Copies of this chain bind each other. A is one copy, B any other.
């Protein structure tokens, strides 16, 4: 099954800073969507909403401070349900590296192409948030195509 993969490298931020931006409601709100709610605990669900574009519910499966976050999609578009989203964090010289994977897609449909590019822009938003203090979370997200 095809996966979406991405990598960003962040300067002036530690793995713990990146972990915090991936595991607090405030951090997630600053780079992905302002409308983020829930509890960051294993077994709990975090809800991400994008106005009339809908959104996703993510069940937190793994939390390894400073190293790894794993979610599973429990609600959202049909293609997303059951898929898993992970962030692996490490230090490499002056950079904090985030390796991203969205795995479990059944088919490489057009929506998967869209989501791949959109994830890339959101991860660049995470990088920007940590490097400059300002991300590009929904509704100020980067528009990539006719699906937003």
* Residues on A facing B (Cβ under 8 Å): 2-9, 92-95, 97, 99-101, 108, 110, 112-114, 116-117, 120-121, 123-124, 127, 142, 144-147
Contact = CB atoms under 8 A, between A and B. Distances in A.
16 contacts: A2-B2, A4-B5, A7-B110, A8-B117, A8-B144, A9-B145, A9-B146, A92-B146, A94-B146, A97-B146, A100-B113, A116-B116, A116-B120, A121-B124, A124-B142, A127-B144
Nearest to A1: B2
A43 to B, nearest CB: 28
Given A5-B4, A116-B6, A144-B7, A110 B99 contact: yes
Which 7 pairs, one residue from A and one from B, show the smallest C-beta to C-beta distance? A9-B145, A120-B120, A7-B113, A95-B146, A5-B113, A9-B146, A6-B117
Contacts of A142: 124
Contacts of A110: 7, 99
A96 to B, nearest CB: 10
Nearest to A116: B5
